[in-house]
Chain A
Amino acid sequence: MPITTEFEYVKPRDMDEALHVFSLYREKARALAGGTDLVVHLKENLARPEVVVDIKALQELAGFTLKGGILRLGALVTFSDLIDSPVIKAKFPLLWEASLTVASTGVRNRATVAGNICSAVPSADSAPVLAVYDAEVLARSIRGERRVPIADWFTGPKKTALQPDEIVTAVEMRLPAKKHAGCYMKLSRYEGEDLAQGGIAVLAFSDNTYRVAACALGPKPARCPRTEALLAGNKLGEKLLARARETILQEVSPISDIRSSKEYRLHMTQVMLGRALEKAVARLFGKGPKYGTENIA
C-alpha cells in the first residue's frame, strides 16, 4: 500500500539539529526510529506529518548502559537488543521476559522500547514492566531535558505527557536493591505474535512487598496500588491470594473489543494475577520456572 501523505524526510546527525526541527514543526513533525507503528499510521493516514525525523543517526540515543545500579535505555534500543543481552537477562529478567512477548522477531528487530511507550496503546507490553521498576522517561527539547515518572507518562489511550517539541531520549530505571523476582503474564489469543488481551507484571521482594501493574485492562497501563497495599508485608497464601484477586477488580476497567469481552478480561485478570504472583514468589526462592515465554502461557 502506498503512503499517500506527502512529507519531507530528514536524518539529523546531531541532537541540536533534531530538536530544532521539532521546535519548529511541533505536531507536524514525527520521530522515526523502528517505524513499526509510524509507518502503519502513515499508510492509514492516522499520522499526516509534514516532516519525518529519522533519529537513528543520533549517537546519544543508541545503546544501553548499566552504571551505579541505573539502567539507561537509549531511545533507539530495540526489543531484540534487550533479548540478546546477557546483562538484561541477568539483571532485569522481567524486562527480558516481557520483551520476548512483543510481536515477533521481525518486528522486535526494529521496534524500540521508547517507541512502544510513545505509541502508548493500552496493551503496550513494556509498560507494566517499566511501571513496576518505577522507570523514568527522559524527554528533551531545545528548552532542556526533563524526567517524567512512568506513572505520569501515560495520560490516556495513545496519549502521553510528551510535549510537541520534545523527543524521548532514554528510559531509565534503578535496579532494586532488595532481593526480588518478577513475572510478566500476557494473555493473548494464541502463542506467538498477538497484542495483549491483558497483561500483568509483578515484582516480588524478599521483605514480602510486591509491585503489580497491568496493561490492556484499562485506558492506560498502570500500577495497582490497592492490590499492592493489601499484599504488603504478607507471605503469599491462598487466603491472601483470594483477597488480592477481589481487590484488583477495583483497579482495572477493561472494555470489550475485537480481542475479548470485558467479562473474560475481568475473569482472566484474577487468574493472571494469581499466577504471576505465585511464579514471581517461586522464582524469588529459586524454585520458579526459568524466565522466558516457554513457561508463562
Chain B
Amino acid sequence: MKTHRINFTLNGEKVALDVEPNDVLLDTLRGRLGIKSPKVGCDRGDCGTCTVLMNGRTVRSCLALAVEADGADLVTLEGANTRKWTQKLQKKFHEKNSFQCGFCAPGVILSATELLEKNPKPTTHDIKEAVAGNLCRCTGYEPIVEAIAETAKGN
C-alpha cells in the first residue's frame, strides 16, 4: 500500500501525518495522536461514542478513513475551547450530573454542539433527534436532554 501524507487541523492546531490507506480515523486519533475522547464502542456507526466534528459536522470517526481527513478541520472534545457551545455544555452536564459512567459523554456533547450551532433554540424533539445516534446505557437520557435544553436557554 502507498502511504499518504495528510495535513489537517486538529483542535485548532495543524497536524501532518503519514497514514496507510486502510487506517481508520478513530484508531489514528486514539493510537497515534493521543486523542482519547472519541471511544471505540460498536465500531460500526451505530452507537455514536466515536463522534468527532469534521468541518463543523458530527461524523462517525469509526467509519472514516484517516486519509479522508486530509484538508479537514477536526474537533474532538479535547478542543472544547475552540467552540462556542462546547464548554457551556460541559459545565451544564457537570452541574446537573447528567452522566454516570461518561463513556458516551464526548459524543453526546459534540452532537449537542452541532445542534446548538445550527439551532440555538431547539425544541425537546430537536434535542432528542440530535442525540438519537448517541447511545447512553446509564441515564435514560432525561438528564442529558434537560442539560442541553438548559444550556440553550442559558440558565
What is A's interface to B at a CB cutoff of 8 Å?
Answer: 1-9, 32, 35-36, 39-40, 42-43, 52, 54, 56, 80, 100, 103-107, 109-110, 191-193, 293-294
What's the nearest-Cβ distance from chain B to residue A78, in Å?
A: 9
Interface CB pairs A-B, < 8 A, 11? A2-B22, A8-B2, A9-B2, A9-B4, A43-B44, A105-B114, A106-B60, A106-B107, A109-B57, A109-B59, A110-B59
Task: Tell me the residues in window 108-155 of chain B with beta carbons closer than 8 Å to chain A beta carbons.
Answer: 111, 114-115, 125, 128-130, 132-134
A-B pair count, CB < 8 Å, reads 101
Residues of B within 8 A of A8 (CB): 1-2, 21
In the complex, B80 has a CB within 8 A of chain A: no
Residues of A within 8 A of B2 (CB): 8-9
Q: How many Å lie between the Cα of A192 and that of B130 in the bound state? A: 9
- In order of increasing CB-CB distance, the 4 nearest A-B pairs are A104-B133, A192-B132, A9-B21, A3-B22
Known: A9-B4, A109-B58. A103 touches B21 (CB 8 A): no
What is B's interface to A at a CB cutoff of 8 Å?
Answer: 1-2, 4, 21-24, 27, 40, 43-46, 48, 51, 57-60, 62-65, 67-68, 107, 111, 114-115, 125, 128-130, 132-134
Residues of A within 8 A of B67 (CB): 9, 54
Residues of B within 8 A of A192 (CB): 128-129, 132-133
Q: How many Å lie between the Cα of A192 and that of B68 in the bound state? A: 28
- In the complex, which residue of chain B has the Cβ closest to the Cβ of A9? B21
Residues of A within 8 A of B40 (CB): 1
Q: In the bound complex, do residue B57 and residue A36 qualify as a contact, i.e. CB atoms below 8 Å apart? A: no
Residues of A within 8 A of B51 (CB): 106
Q: In the bound complex, do residue B1 and residue A7 qualify as a contact, i.e. CB atoms below 8 Å apart? A: yes
What's the nearest-Cβ distance from chain B to residue A168, in Å?
A: 19
Known: A192-B128, A193-B46. A105 touches B133 (CB 8 A): yes
Q: How many Å lie between the Cα of A2 and that of B19 in the bound state? A: 13
Q: In the bound complex, do residue B24 and residue A3 qualify as a contact, i.e. CB atoms below 8 Å apart? A: yes
* CB contact between A107 and one of B21, B45, B114 (< 8 Å): that residue: B45
14 additional A-B pairs beyond A39-B63, A54-B68, A105-B114, beta carbons within 8 Å, are A1-B40, A1-B62, A9-B4, A9-B65, A40-B63, A42-B22, A105-B111, A106-B51, A106-B111, A106-B133, A107-B45, A110-B60, A192-B132, A294-B125
Q: How many Å lie between the Cα of A201 and that of B67 in the bound state? A: 38
Known: A40-B45, A105-B58. A6 touches B133 (CB 8 A): no
Q: In the bound complex, do residue A36 and residue B60 qualify as a contact, i.e. CB atoms below 8 Å apart? A: yes
Q: How many Å lie between the Cα of A78 and that of B51 in the bound state? A: 18
Known: A6-B22, A7-B1. A193 touches B57 (CB 8 A): no
Residues of B within 8 A of A109 (CB): 57-59
Q: How many Å lie between the Cα of A8 and that of B114 in the bound state? A: 33
